Structure 1
Amino acid sequence: HAAECLATAATTLSDAARAAAESLAIEPISIGISDSVEASITHDLAHEAPALPPLSSILLHPVSESGVTPDEPDKGNAQSHENTGGKDISEVSVAIQRSPLRTQDVEEERWLVNCDIKNELVPLAQTSEQSGETEETSSINIEVAREVMTEVLPADSDLNDVISLEKAPNVAAMMDSTLGELANIRGMEQVIDPKQSYRILVENELDVLLTVCALIGQNQRVICYMPSGTPPLSFYKPLIEAATGVVAYFPERMSPTRRDAAYKRTLEASNSVALVPGTILPDILMEGENTWVIHVGCPPSYEKYVSRFKKHRAQNNVIVAYSGDLELYTLRPSLMDITQIWPGRDSLDASIDKLRRVFDDSLTKISDELKEKVYADWIQTHSVYGPRYVKAWDPIKLVEQANRYLVHILLYRYKDLVSNTLESKILPRVSWGFVTQNSLEPTYEAGVLQVKDRDSGPNHISSLPQADVKSSAAASTRVFTPTTGRTASILSTQTSTDTKAKVPGKDSNAQIPSAEADFKPASGHTYLPIEEEFDAIPLIGFMAEKYDKVICFLEGHGSLRHYQKLFKKILPSAQVIAPEAISSDQANNDAASRFVNTSSRSMLLLTYSTTNLPSMLRESKVGYCIYWGFHLPVKQAKKHRGQLTCSSSAIIITKSQQAELKKQSADITEHANARTLLDLGPRSPLWPMRNTTVSILMTEEAAVKGLYVNRIYGLGTVSRAERSAQEVLRMANRYSAKVLLRGDLEDGSEQFPPVAGRLPVPRTVVDRFQLQPAVTEGLAIIG
Structure 2
Amino acid sequence: MGEPAPVNSQVERTASLSRAAESLAKAATKLSEAARAMSLVAEALSKGSASKTLAISGPGPKSVQPAQPDTVPSSEAAPAEDEGVGLPQPYRILFDEEADVLLVLCSLIYDRSKVVCYLPCGTHSLKLYKNLISGVTGANVLTTDPFEGSTLDLVYDKFLKEGRSIILLPETDIPSNSAKEVADYTVIHVGWPSNKRQYVAQRRAHHASTNLLLAYSGDQDLYPSGSAIMSQTETWPGDSGGFRASVDILRPLFEEALSEVPFEMKEEAYLDWIHSHSKQGPRFVSSWTPSTLVNRANEFILGPLAYRSPASLTQESTSQAPLTDRLPEVPMEFVAQHGLQAAVDEGLLRIEVEADDTHIHDLGSNSASRLSA
TM-score range normalised by the length of the shorter chain? 0.5 to 0.7
Within the candidate set 265, 274, 281, 2:174 is matched to 281
Q: Deviations over 1:575-598 (max 9, x none)?
A: xxxxxxxxxxxxxxxxxxxxxxxx
- Structure 1 pair 254–343 and aligned structure 2 pair: CA distance change class (3 A): same
The higher radius of gyration belongs to: 1
1:668 aligned partner = none
1:334 aligned partner = 228
2:306 aligned partner = 411
- Structure 1 pair 288–256 and aligned structure 2 pair: CA distance change class (3 A): farther
Q: Measure how far apart 1:219 and its partner are.
A: 5.6
2:286 aligned partner = 391
Q: Does 1:227 align with 2:127?
A: no
Q: What is the letter of the counterpart of residue 323 of structure 1?
A: S
Q: Does 1:245 align with 2:114?
A: no
Separation in structure 2 between the aligned mates of residue 214 and residue 258 of structure 1, nearest angstrom: 27
More deviation, 388-397/231-240 = 388-397
Higher helix share: 2
Separation in structure 2 between the aligned mates of residue 440 and residue 281 of structure 1, nearest angstrom: 31
Q: Measure how far apart 1:275 and its partner are.
A: 0.6
Q: How does 1:703-718 map to 2 (within 5 A)?
A: none
Q: Name the % identity.
A: 35
State the structure with bigger RCO (CA 8 A, min sep 6), 1 or 2.
Answer: 2
Q: Does 1:308 align with 2:202?
A: yes
RMSD: 2.9
Aligned 8 A contact 2:121 2:170 in 1: yes
1:348 aligned partner = 243
Secondary structure of the structure 2 residue equivalent to 1:364: helix
Q: Measure how far apart 1:437 and its partner are.
A: 4.8
1:429 aligned partner = 329
Separation in structure 2 between the aligned mates of residue 318 and residue 251 of structure 1, nearest angstrom: 21
Secondary structure of the structure 1 residue equivalent to 2:221: helix
1:449 aligned partner = 349
Q: Does 1:195 align with 2:91?
A: no
Q: Does 1:299 align with 2:193?
A: yes
Q: Measure how far apart 1:751 and its partner are.
A: 7.6
Separation in structure 1 between the aligned mates of residue 149 and residue 87 of structure 2, nearest angstrom: 27
Secondary structure of the structure 1 residue equivalent to 2:268: helix
Within the candidate set 259, 262, 272, 1:367 is matched to 262
Q: Measure how far apart 1:428 and its partner are.
A: 1.6
Q: What is the letter of the counterpart of residue 440 of structure 1?
A: L
Aligned 8 A contact 2:323 2:348 in 1: no
> What is the count of residue pairs matched by the alignment?
280
Q: Does 1:260 align with 2:153?
A: yes
Q: Deviations over 1:591-629 (max 9, x none)?
A: xxxxxxxxxxxxxxxxxxxxxxxxxxxxxxxxxxxxxxx
Separation in structure 2 between the aligned mates of residue 442 and residue 418 of structure 1, nearest angstrom: 25
- Structure 1 pair 421–302 and aligned structure 2 pair: CA distance change class (3 A): farther
Q: What is the letter of the counterpart of residue 136 of structure 2?
A: A
Separation in structure 2 between the aligned mates of residue 243 and residue 420 of structure 1, nearest angstrom: 31
Separation in structure 1 between the aligned mates of residue 270 and residue 360 of structure 2, nearest angstrom: 11
Q: What is the letter of the counterpart of residue 354 of structure 1?
A: I
Aligned 8 A contact 1:452 1:463 in 2: no
Q: Measure how far apart 1:333 and its partner are.
A: 5.2
Aligned 8 A contact 2:136 2:254 in 1: yes
Separation in structure 1 between the aligned mates of residue 292 and residue 183 of structure 2, nearest angstrom: 44
Q: Measure how far apart 1:410 and its partner are.
A: 0.6
Aligned 8 A contact 1:432 1:454 in 2: no
Aligned 8 A contact 2:221 2:227 in 1: no
Separation in structure 2 between the aligned mates of residue 427 and residue 299 of structure 1, nearest angstrom: 27
Q: Measure how far apart 1:341 and its partner are.
A: 0.8
Separation in structure 2 between the aligned mates of residue 330 and residue 408 of structure 1, nearest angstrom: 26
- Structure 1 pair 201–259 and aligned structure 2 pair: CA distance change class (3 A): same
Within the candidate set 359, 364, 368, 1:476 is matched to 368
1:207 aligned partner = 100
Q: How does 1:568-583 map to 2 (within 5 A)?
A: none
- Structure 1 pair 284–318 and aligned structure 2 pair: CA distance change class (3 A): farther
Q: Measure how far apart 1:335 and its partner are.
A: 2.2
Aligned 8 A contact 1:297 1:321 in 2: yes
Separation in structure 2 between the aligned mates of residue 354 and residue 220 of structure 1, nearest angstrom: 20
Gaps of 5+ in 2: 1-85
1:376 aligned partner = 271
Aligned 8 A contact 1:210 1:359 in 2: yes
Secondary structure of the structure 2 residue equivalent to 1:231: helix
Q: Measure how far apart 1:218 and its partner are.
A: 4.9
Separation in structure 2 between the aligned mates of residue 374 and residue 273 of structure 1, nearest angstrom: 20
What is the TM-score normalised by the length of structure 2? 0.68
Aligned 8 A contact 2:172 2:198 in 1: no
2:17 aligned partner = none
Separation in structure 2 between the aligned mates of residue 315 and residue 422 of structure 1, nearest angstrom: 48
Aligned 8 A contact 1:214 1:355 in 2: yes
Separation in structure 2 between the aligned mates of residue 261 and residue 448 of structure 1, nearest angstrom: 41
Q: Deviations over 1:282-331 (max 9, x none)?
A: 22546566401100101111000011011111111111001111122221
Q: What is the letter of the counterpart of residue 251 of structure 1?
A: T
1:325 aligned partner = 219
